Amino acid sequence: MKQLFIAGNWKSTKGVGEADEWITAFHAKYQTLHTKWKETRIILCAPFTLLHFLKWRIDSLKLPIELGAQDVSPFDSGAYTGEINSQQLAELVRWVIIGHTERRRYFGETDEVLAKKVEQCLARGLQVIYCVGDETLPVPMGVAVISYEPNWAIGTGHADTPHHANRVIEMIKKKSGVKTVIYGGSVTSDNVASFVSESAIDGILPGGASFDPEAFCNLISQATS
Ligand code: PGA
């Protein structure tokens, strides 16, 4: 069985209290389900404000969750007011999402700025999940995982078909040389199994379906059953 990557993306949601409730509920579910999840790498990409708290909770409960951020500064440490840099993130997380559709769409992030962000992460030993909307977009060298996420499928309830996603992912793998490519865009516990059963799809990046711990655990269970 292939090792699956399931990378939840909380987007710009949740405060500390909600994060605490989520972890408590996840922990309870995990106790009953974890034997099935063994081959799965569970990543949780949370807002910057929650990373320190989540790291503490995950470490103290020994949960099998690898923590990730959703963005990073294109600059090193210094006079860049408001930015969170890769050195700061390296104390807290293993993963960083770069180039999410919402960053490109609402914050005008270009391929050039995204390449600088990747460079910053690699310099600090952070692993990058790099998002692309299709197979034509450039992918910087050194990313660990690519997430294929068609723009029209993000948060719309209209996922790509598993068959088409598989074909695009095959092309992305061929073009980029990256071995691990996952799919994101309206994945739920109902459709996840049909995505991960495709030969080229190595996992998924659920947004909305990671907000609720029950839904997220169901999704992991469906993906691994
Ligand atoms: P969604 O988000 O699962 O809510 O469509 C996917 C994503 O954040 O990439």
* Mean pLDDT per 10-residue section of the chain, whose length is 225 residues: 93 98 96 82 98 98 97 98 98 98 97 98 98 97 98 97 98 98 98 98 98 96 92
Alpha helices (H) in 68-161, listed in sequence order: 86-90, 101-107, 111-123
Residue 21 designated active-site? no
pLDDT value at position 57? 98
pLDDT in the model for residue 46: 98
Cβ atoms of 209 and 177 closer than 8 Å: no
Q: Residue 62 is encoded by which pair of tokens? A: 């020994």
Q: Which of 102, 135, 149, 198 is catalytic?
A: 149
- Which runs of E-coded beta strand occur in the chain? 4-9, 40-45, 65-69, 95-98, 127-132, 145-148, 180-183, 203-204
Residue nearest ligand 1's atom 9 by CA: 184
Q: What is residue 39's predicted lDDT score, i.e. its pLDDT? A: 82
Instruction: Please name the residue whose Cα sits nearest to atom 2 of ligand 1.
Output: 207
DSSP code of residue 99: S
pTM of the prediction? 0.97
pLDDT of residue 75: 98
Whole-number pLDDT of residue 38: 78
> What separation in Å is there between the alpha carbon of 205 and the centre of ligand 1?
7
Q: Which residues line ligand 1 (CB under 6 A)?
A: 9, 149, 154-155, 184-187, 205-209
| Residue 32: predicted pLDDT | 86
Q: Does the annotation mark 149 as catalytic?
A: yes
In this prediction, residue 2 carries a pLDDT of 85
d(CA 5, CA 35): 16
